[in-house]
Structure 1
Amino acid sequence: MPPSSLKTRERLSEVRYEIRGELARRARELEAQGRTLIKLNIGNPGAFGFRAPAHLQRAIVDGIDQTDPYTHQQGLPAAREAVAAHYRKRGTPNATPERVFLGNGVSELIDLSLRALLNPGDEVLLPSPDYPLWSAATILNDGRPVYYRCLPENGFLPDPDEIEALVSSRTRAIVLINPNNPTGANYPRELIERIVAVAARHGLLLLCDEIYDSILYDGAGFQPIAPLAGDVPCLSFGGLSKVHRACGWRVGWAVLSGDPLAIGEFHHAMDLLGALRLCANVPGQFAVEAALHGDNTIDALCAPDGRLYEARRAVIDSVAASRHLQLVAPAGALYAFPAVAGAAAEGFDDHRFALELLETENVLVVPGSSFNVPYRNHFRVTLLPQPDELREVFQRIERVLDRRADRDADGGSARAALG
């Protein structure tokens, strides 16, 4: 008798992560056939020739003989103090080592925080577009994502009045991704203050994904949320993966702020869940102090003539020269989120476009609908390749969109002749 199929968790059917999904699997098949691809689906600096700064590497080497044992479940004391000092400097209230949690990347800490917070059926207000891990972690911890719109016509900034209108008796938290992935939007102080006021009125936790906090362009400034939140419970996420180009080290942190009486039970829950996974990667934690209190290595990359700045410029210029594309220029982070417009947008499906681009032009992008938006005319690219390579990518994108527009024009002419 053949064995029965092994069943999996039903809620997994609700989870989408196209960044490493079906298209990425097809890309691996094409590479196995000998094709050379330009893969723009993941913000992975090391895959594009970036290296973690040398002083961070030295810090790990110097501490390696101390990394064999488990550490405290919240992280190495010195690393937690370094994080706390950094957040105190930028105004986070009551930033102490006891309120800092080290994790295996921000990804793990997002999951732990939602597991600590949610009961079945509880709701989390998420931006649309969002980084899809937030939606997935909400669903897999038995919560319900409720999306507030960040519309392109508003520069991908949210409307605080719409956020408040979505609050229900089951709402537990508001997620803010700033600077934003996938859009590159950077939230101004006045907007954040209004969202903080919504959280205060309704007793909600602010979950603040600030992993791109120092990746900013054209003089944009970063406004951390915790200093504006004050006594409102707030969990601020950061890490080494993006600003410090050390994705593979899996070092992230979360800093809990707010009224001690309001956050005490949640703090205990985070500590318990951290203890159950024993501890985060220890060697990488030795780089935290060097990262936060050593030489600044990101600003030059984001300034004119810096590699990230010039890559962003290449995307902006390529879109401006396109017959088919529009773009809200990213103010921060490592991505652009172009829209297809005009004739090429008629009946456009972002997934079919991404597959055609991969199959015919050897370029892998992420369909915009993967980021939990209702429209299907956007796609995301990372700004990590060299500027000339990005210019080449957009020439290939233009060829695909030209073919699409021409096919639609020919189909329209044929239909008119038949009519």
Structure 2
Amino acid sequence: MQEARYQLSGRVRASAAPPIPLAAQWAAEYSPTAADPLINLSQGVPGAPPPQAMLDKLADATRDPTTTGYGALAGDASLRLAVADNVERVYGPPAQEDFRVTADNAFYATMLALAEPGDEIILPTPWYFNHQMSLEQLGLSLVPLPCHAPDFLPSPKDCIDLISDRTRAIVLVSPNNPTGAIYPRELISRFAVLAQARNIALILDETYRDFVDGPPHHLFAKTDWPAYLIHLFSFSKSYAIPGHRLGGLIASRTFLAQVSKLLDCIQICPARPAQRVVEWAIGAMSDWRDGVKHELQSRQNVFRELLEGVDGWEVATGGAYFAYVKHPFEGVPSQKVSQYLAARVGIITLPGTFFSPPFDRIDEDRYIRFSIANVDEATLRRVPARLKRLNELWPTLPH
């Protein structure tokens, strides 16, 4: 095929590529059987669809001609009101006009609104790889804030030393992707104080907030939160509708006035059918969401107990969708171990190298992300036998 001869963006060409297809390539080497099927623990997706009542309402909404037209840039008013009520119950009282519904592109739009090429964004590592990709594509300087075992929590004290005149924001993700670590409220408050003192933004990505007990933080209860806080979230995981790409953000009216310009160019308006159904689901599916939360919390405990029976494998941290697992093979990069997990024993995972800058020491590269929300408990119980099989095969494998 003839290649393009026109110039392409250097920033985009230099940015990282999506890593999940690479993991799928490793899995293509595995020969599944009925007794040993492929186990996909690579992507943070709901393990089951939403209840039939929600599926029926989605179908009805797509057949309604009123949902085919343009909607409000900020999201339909009725959904915004429902979300504002829900956020007030969870966190405190942010006003409705401080809220925007987006097409799950809030992080990208936020970065465009905040920073110019060359500005710096502090991002704890391990980081979510799409955050890294977004910053690279926008020409922003990613400043790693290393988080270390055993808890993988970011340190405000370490963060202070990273702030410069070009720093525009600190990004926190809790519950974290990839580690699953849940940041204590007091820790988030300390970062809020730091951001406020340095006049930079604190961006909280709380995609998995509905899978923890109690309010993730109390920042919204304070009247000064608009001065520094930008809150991002997604309906995809909470309502098991990632294919509908619906999310949102809460921030000051000053910030939202600028980000709205970007959203008008990126999406014009969020998908109308999903908005209508989520408006209903916020109240009607609260018991279902609580059930999913408790199920995932139980699954974390089960998975941790399962790995206790496998020599050398250990859950370092876990929460919501993810468990961050230390592998037993000293001196071997996590990417090589993940490759063998997929190709030799049929478990697709993502290595820590996909979520970090290059490691200074090989012994730091010992962690692999297992997405335990993808499958049911019965499937998770197959994992220990596969890990034991890899332990047995390991002396015979090139590495």
Could you tell me the TM-score, scaled by structure 1's length?
A: 0.84
Q: 2:197 aligns with which of 197, 201, 217?
A: 201
1:378 Cα deviation (Å)?
0.7
Question: Matches of 1:202 and 1:371 in 2, distance apart?
Answer: 27
- CA-to-partner distance for each residue in 1:148-207, whole Å, 9 max, x for gaps? 122113x11111111111111000011110111111111112111110011001111121
Matches within 5 A, 1:20-419: 20-27=20-27, 36-45=37-46, 48=47, 50-64=48-62, 65=64, 66-96=66-96, 98-105=97-104, 108-153=105-150, 155-216=151-212, 222-223=216-217, 225-227=219-221, 230-257=225-252, 264=254, 266-276=255-265, 277-296=267-286, 297-303=288-294, 306=295, 308-330=296-318, 332-341=319-328, 344-345=329-330, 347-372=331-356, 374=359, 375-384=364-373, 385-404=375-394, 406=395
- CA-to-partner distance for each residue in 1:112-162, whole Å, 9 max, x for gaps? 111111101011111111111111111111111111122113x11111111
1:314 Cα deviation (Å)?
3.0
Range moving further from structure 2, 239-248 or 122-131: 239-248
Question: Matches of 2:3 and 2:228 in 1, distance apart?
Answer: 50
Does the aligned pair in 1 maintain the 2:310–2:387 contact within 8 Å? Answer: no
Question: Matches of 1:399 and 1:6 in 2, distance apart?
Answer: 50
1:273 Cα deviation (Å)?
1.0
1:313 Cα deviation (Å)?
2.7
Summarize the Cα distance change of 1:220–1:101 in structure 2 as closer, same or farther, 3 Å threshold.
closer
Partner of 1:417: none
Unaligned 5+ runs, structure 1? 412-419
- CA-to-partner distance for each residue in 1:318-360, whole Å, 9 max, x for gaps? 2211211222242x3101010124xx22x21111111122111
Give the % identical residues: 25
1:394 Cα deviation (Å)?
3.0
Summarize the Cα distance change of 1:125–1:312 in structure 2 as closer, same or farther, 3 Å threshold.
same
Summarize the Cα distance change of 1:130–1:299 in structure 2 as closer, same or farther, 3 Å threshold.
same
Does the aligned pair in 2 maintain the 1:95–1:255 contact within 8 Å? Answer: no
Does the aligned pair in 2 maintain the 1:237–1:255 contact within 8 Å? Answer: yes
Question: Matches of 2:392 and 2:91 in 1, distance apart?
Answer: 50
1:111 Cα deviation (Å)?
0.8
Does the aligned pair in 2 maintain the 1:90–1:227 contact within 8 Å? Answer: no
Unaligned 5+ runs, structure 2? none
Question: Matches of 1:109 and 1:357 in 2, distance apart?
Answer: 34
SS of 2:237 mapped into structure 1 = coil
Question: Matches of 1:94 and 1:9 in 2, distance apart?
Answer: 39
The one-letter code of the counterpart of 2:44 is G
Summarize the Cα distance change of 1:235–1:3 in structure 2 as closer, same or farther, 3 Å threshold.
closer
Question: Matches of 2:326 and 2:29 in 1, distance apart?
Answer: 28
Range moving further from structure 2, 185-194 or 119-128: 185-194
The one-letter code of the counterpart of 2:217 is Q
Does the aligned pair in 2 maintain the 1:84–1:255 contact within 8 Å? Answer: no
1:88 Cα deviation (Å)?
2.7
Question: Matches of 1:401 and 1:232 in 2, distance apart?
Answer: 52
The one-letter code of the counterpart of 2:207 is I
Cα RMSD for the two superposed structures: 2.8
Summarize the Cα distance change of 1:70–1:27 in structure 2 as closer, same or farther, 3 Å threshold.
farther
Does the aligned pair in 2 maintain the 1:104–1:281 contact within 8 Å? Answer: yes
The one-letter code of the counterpart of 2:229 is C
The one-letter code of the counterpart of 2:369 is R
1:14 Cα deviation (Å)?
4.2
Summarize the Cα distance change of 1:310–1:93 in structure 2 as closer, same or farther, 3 Å threshold.
closer
Question: Matches of 1:389 and 1:282 in 2, distance apart?
Answer: 36
Summarize the Cα distance change of 1:23–1:91 in structure 2 as closer, same or farther, 3 Å threshold.
closer
1:256 Cα deviation (Å)?
1.3
Give aligned pairs, total.
386
Range moving further from structure 2, 247-256 or 22-31: 22-31
The one-letter code of the counterpart of 1:333 is A
Question: Matches of 1:3 and 1:186 in 2, distance apart?
Answer: 46
- CA-to-partner distance for each residue in 1:247-295, whole Å, 9 max, x for gaps? 11211111114xx5xxx1x322211111123112111111222232223
Question: Matches of 1:32 and 1:184 in 2, distance apart?
Answer: 29
1:82 Cα deviation (Å)?
1.4
Summarize the Cα distance change of 1:52–1:19 in structure 2 as closer, same or farther, 3 Å threshold.
farther
Does the aligned pair in 1 maintain the 2:28–2:343 contact within 8 Å? Answer: no
Question: Matches of 1:227 and 1:206 in 2, distance apart?
Answer: 16
1:397 Cα deviation (Å)?
2.3
Does the aligned pair in 1 maintain the 2:90–2:215 contact within 8 Å? Answer: no
